[in-house]
């Protein structure tokens, strides 16, 4: 059981708040987040890296969970923002993060996207030299490229964000050309970025990857005579979904520092930046779903009010989330396939899940729902996305209301001749 969660009798509590009571108060589907857990996760990773780097900054990856309340928690702790596009950058600013603490790392951005970023005065990690060239005579003060080191890893193929099959970043030779072009245009400040994969649990992977990155940085330092104002090593710090051992973040930070040690003399003023998302918020959240129907035609299927419009990761990647019953804690368990209301046969939240004997009205909890759940949700089948609440000390705050049908149709229009 993840820390902060505890059964008291047959009922599951998060930070001493009974989850069943929240389901009854706010309805389901419902995502419940723990401010305390987010705080603890941030302080753990900040402490691990601050031991090794004089200039260091955490930039929270908004793609994991872009709720302004979540961003505000991390902003108050000192985090900046990693934005994938200008919209995420604007959400970060709305949540109180200053433009100088926002870096946008997008791909296939349009001129208008890049122009908006310049107008917001945020930093840009260019995904391609052509993206920089789009701006022509409007180059930002600092030029940074996302490097594809030719190697990457992730829990699934779809979240491996470097290597020959990846759409992200550029090889070192292209980066050299880009930095050289920027130098010739009079640019004096430079950054460099790499993000090679997501949800990794092996400290050795980060050591290997950081060693490759250090070699690339050294090549650019030597060939162009430039030093970097920031070195952005990305994220990818994982959390266990299937009873794996947790990532040793202290060992990870130590190994990354060891791998980068040889290039720090050439980049003495560089700020080291990391971009955790999942690591900060995944295990701070649980998604609650009510059992609405039970079928047993050769296998037991528990239908719920939470489908792949809210949690798409199992259908998209084959991801596995731990699923528990929050109002029963029996020792006798049965196998269930858990599904939702979507008209797709991929709409399974979990397969062969061991749970107490279920009845309609029971409430299931899907763990690690703080990251890549709400931010990847949709209104497919015209269904509502989940409401979201935040437990903060002894208080529970609604931080996102559930969609109603008016929200779903408000941005649509019927031409007059069809009325």
Q: What is the pLDDT of residues 259-279, one digit of tens each?
A: 999 999 999 999 999 999 999
- In 3D space, the residue among 92, 130, 96 whose CA is nearest the CA of residue 111 turns out to be 130
**What are the φ/ψ torsions at residue 22 (nearest 5 degrees)?**
-70, -40
pLDDT value for 351: 97
Distances (CA, A) of 332 to 297, 335, 357, 358: 21, 11, 8, 11
Instruction: Centre a 10 Å sphere on the Cβ of residue 261 and count the other Cβ atoms it contains.
Output: 12
Q: Answer yes or no: is pLDDT of 162 > 50.
A: no
pLDDT value for 153: 55
325 is catalytic: no
pLDDT value for 151: 56
Q: Answer yes or no: is pLDDT of 92 > 90.
A: yes
Provide the residue ranges of all domains of the chain, joining segments of one domain with +.
5-34+283-409, 35-281
pLDDT band at 154 (very low <50, low <70, confident <90, very high): very low
Q: Does domain 5-34+283-409 fall into CATH 2.40.37.10?
A: yes
Q: Does domain 35-281 fall into CATH 1.10.10.10?
A: no
Catalytic residue among 137, 173, 245, 343, which? 343
Q: Answer yes or no: is pLDDT of 39 > 90.
A: yes
Choice between 389 and 170, residue whose per-residue pLDDT is larger: 389
pLDDT band at 164 (very low <50, low <70, confident <90, very high): low
Q: Return binding residues for substrate.
A: 278, 313, 317, 344, 372
pLDDT value for 156: 41
Q: Return binding residues for pyridoxal 5'-phosphate.
A: 236, 275-278, 372
Gap between the Cα atoms of 177 and 183, Å rounded: 10
Length of the chain equals 419
- The mean of the pLDDT values for the chain is 94
Q: Return binding residues.
A: 236, 275-278, 313, 317, 344, 372
pLDDT band at 169 (very low <50, low <70, confident <90, very high): confident
5-34+283-409 and 35-281: identical CATH topology: no
Q: 150-154, 166-170, 171-175, 357-361: which range is least confident on average?
A: 150-154
């Amino acid at each position: 059981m993840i820390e902060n969660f505890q059964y008291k009798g047959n009922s599951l509590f998060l930070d001493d708040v009974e989850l069943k009571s929240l389901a009854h108060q706010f309805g389901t589907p419902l995502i419940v987040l723990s401010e305390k857990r987010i705080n603890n996760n941030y302080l753990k990773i900040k402490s691990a890296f601050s031991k090794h780097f004089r200039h260091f900054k955490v930039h929270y990856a908004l793609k994991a969970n872009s709720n302004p309340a979540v961003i505000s928690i991390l902003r108050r702790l000192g985090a900046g923002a990693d934005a994938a596009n200008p919209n995420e950058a604007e959400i970060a600013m709305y949540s109180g993060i200053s433009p100088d603490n926002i870096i946008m790392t997008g791909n296939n951005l349009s001129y208008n996207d890049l122009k908006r970023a310049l107008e917001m005065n945020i930093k840009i990690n260019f995904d391609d030299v052509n993206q920089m060239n789009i701006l022509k005579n409007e180059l930002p003060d600092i030029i940074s490229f996302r490097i594809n080191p030719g190697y990457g890893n992730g829990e699934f193929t779809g979240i491996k964000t470097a290597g020959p099959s990846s759409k992200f970043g550029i090889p070192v030779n292209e980066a050299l050309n880009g930095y050289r072009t920027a130098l010739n245009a009079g640019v004096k400040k430079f950054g460099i970025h790499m993000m090679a994969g997501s949800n990794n649990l092996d400290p050795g992977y980060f050591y290997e990857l950081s060693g490759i990155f250090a070699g690339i940085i050294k090549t650019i330092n030597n060939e162009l005579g430039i030093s970097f104002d920031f070195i952005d090593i990305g994220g990818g710090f994982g959390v266990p979904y299937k009873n794996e051992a947790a990532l040793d973040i202290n060992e990870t930070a130590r190994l990354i520092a060891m791998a980068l040690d040889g290039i720090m003399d050439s980049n003495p003023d560089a700020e080291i930046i990391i971009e955790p998302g999942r690591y900060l918020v995944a295990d701070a959240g649980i998604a609650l779903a009510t059992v609405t129907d039970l079928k047993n035609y050769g296998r037991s299927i528990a239908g719920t009010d939470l489908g792949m419009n809210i949690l798409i990761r199992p259908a998209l990647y084959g991801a596995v989330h731990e699923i528990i019953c929050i109002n029963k804690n029996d020792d006798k368990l049965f196998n269930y396939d858990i599904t939702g209301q979507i008209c797709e046969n991929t709409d399974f939240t979990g397969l062969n899940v061991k749970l107490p004997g279920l009845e309609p009205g029971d409430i299931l909890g899907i763990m690690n729902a703080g990251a890549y759940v709400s931010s990847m949700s949709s209104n497919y089948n015209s269904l509502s996305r989940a409401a979201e609440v935040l437990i903060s000390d002894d208080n529970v705050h609604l931080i996102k209301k559930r969609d109603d049908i008016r929200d779903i149709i408000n941005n649509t229009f019927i031409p007059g001749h069809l009325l």
